[in-house]
Structures are given as structure tokens and as C-alpha cells.
Chain A
Amino acid sequence: MSTPKPEKELHLPLSRVKTIMKSSPEVDAVGPEPLYLVTKVTELFVIDLAKRAFKNSSNNVLEYKHIADVVQEDDSLDFLREIIPRKITVKQFKEMMARKAAKANSDDSTEESSSEESSDESEESQEE
């Protein structure tokens, strides 16, 4: 008889969204209205991202790289770039490092920073 409760139309658990919101140091209380809207917009966001990522798929499988491509190409998704990096293979990584080293050597042969740099970047690259 009455209109369905708006919360019922949401899929994501409000309690979890609330926990995440409250993990922000600037937030101490989250009222039901902002909680509802943040949950709602997160669903819109995930749908939007998935749809766009799927356009990069040539078969009927949505894969990680399709999402990473959208994230790396859209500036408004800058906040996700470190969370959803493009994955490269170990081989690609080694080639990249070799190029970097070669470049550093030709630019400035006295500096040997390239080998140190590679150690912290290696954490980000994973084998596919």
C-alpha cells in the first residue's frame, strides 16, 4: 500500500558503508540521509565503472584490465589510480627498468639512482 522504503532498493549494506564513512577522521556521526545518498551514489558509480569497463571487453568476460584501462584514462578517476593500477608482466617490468637504467646512464652516468628506484616500484607490479 505505501511506497517501498528507499533503503530497500539499495543493494549495498548501509552498515558497511557507514563503517567506511566513519573511518574518515573528519566524520563522527553519519545521519540516515547522507548515508542513504552515499550508498546510492556508490552503486551508481560501480555500475557506471563496470559498464564503461565492459566496453573494453571484446568477448563476454569483464576482466581486471578493462577496469584498469578506464581508471587510467579518465582524469576524474584519478583517486583510483593507485588502487587499480595497470598490471604488467615481470618481463615488461624488466624491460621498463632496463630502459630506465639505459636512459639514466646516458643522461648522467655518475648517478646510480635507477637501481634503488626499482625496489619500491616492484611492489606495485604484479605478474598477470
Chain B
Amino acid sequence: MAEKLEDLNLPLTVVGRIVKEVLPEGVSISKEARTGLAKAASVFVLYVTSAATNTVKHHKRKALTGQDVLEAMADIEFERFVEPLREALEQYKLAVSAKKSAGKKKEDDDVEMVEEEG
């Protein structure tokens, strides 16, 4: 649980760094703009979380999965993030299964990609 209110905000410095990396060199970001972006990102986390929990409910499940996050993107009109996110999920699952098979030689069926359409 969050103990302080600041815990519910994403760190300004990190948000600033992410943005700086993608904007042309030499661009500066005003303090207010940085704060605004960090706030927007924090609220976005909640927005996505809430959309994803709706997907979970819709499937009558309890636990939130990566697939729910993916599906939620279309519900909140962020289809443009679905593809990069799907790739990220794939990579993530590969990394997890690589780690698992390295640790113990065991096949895990649940780490296979599940292709689902809405």
C-alpha cells in the first residue's frame, strides 16, 4: 500500500529521461511539462489497470494476466499500442521460460503464447 501520496506518482526524473531520449537533441522540457507528463503517466497506469480489471471480470476470472492488459488496450482506444505490447509480451514470456528451463528442466505449457481474439 502507498504510505505517502508521492508514492502514487511516477518519478519526474525518470519520466524526463524517457522523454528526452525520444525527442530531438537539444530540446528542453519545461519543469511544468515534465510534471504534467509524469502526472499523465501515473493516471494512465490507473486507467489501464482499471480497463484490464474489467477484462478480467468479463472473462469471469480473478487474476490479472498480460493478455488482459493487451485486450484492454482496444477497449480504451489505444490500439496503436497493441502490436508493440504484443511483441513485448512475447519477449517477456521467452525470457521467463528461458529462465525456467535454465533453472529446472521442465516444460511449462502455460508460458506458450496464447493467441486470442476479442
Contact = CB atoms under 8 A, between A and B. Distances in A.
A19 B25 CA distance: 33
Interface in A44-97: 44-51, 53-54, 57, 60-64, 66-68, 71, 75-76, 79-80, 83-84
Interface residues of B, number: 63
Contacts of A63: 30, 32-33
Interface string B1-32: 11000011011001101110011101111101
**Residues of A contacting B: mostly:** helix
Nearest to A37: B69
A6 B92 contact: yes
Interface in A21-42: 21-24, 26-27, 29-34, 36-38, 40-42
A53 B36 CA distance: 11
A36 B86 CA distance: 12
Nearest to B39: A83
Nearest to A45: B44
B40 A19 contact: no
Contacts of A21: 45-46, 49
Contacts of B32: 63-64
16 contacts: A2-B98, A21-B45, A24-B53, A29-B63, A29-B64, A38-B52, A41-B78, A41-B81, A42-B10, A44-B81, A46-B18, A46-B44, A47-B19, A54-B27, A64-B36, A76-B78
Interface of A: 2-3, 5-6, 11-13, 16-17, 19-24, 26-27, 29-34, 36-38, 40-51, 53-54, 57, 60-64, 66-68, 71, 75-76, 79-80, 83-84
Given A51-B23, A67-B37, A79-B43, 12 more contacts: A6-B92, A33-B65, A34-B64, A36-B92, A37-B88, A42-B41, A47-B22, A48-B81, A49-B40, A61-B27, A63-B30, A83-B39
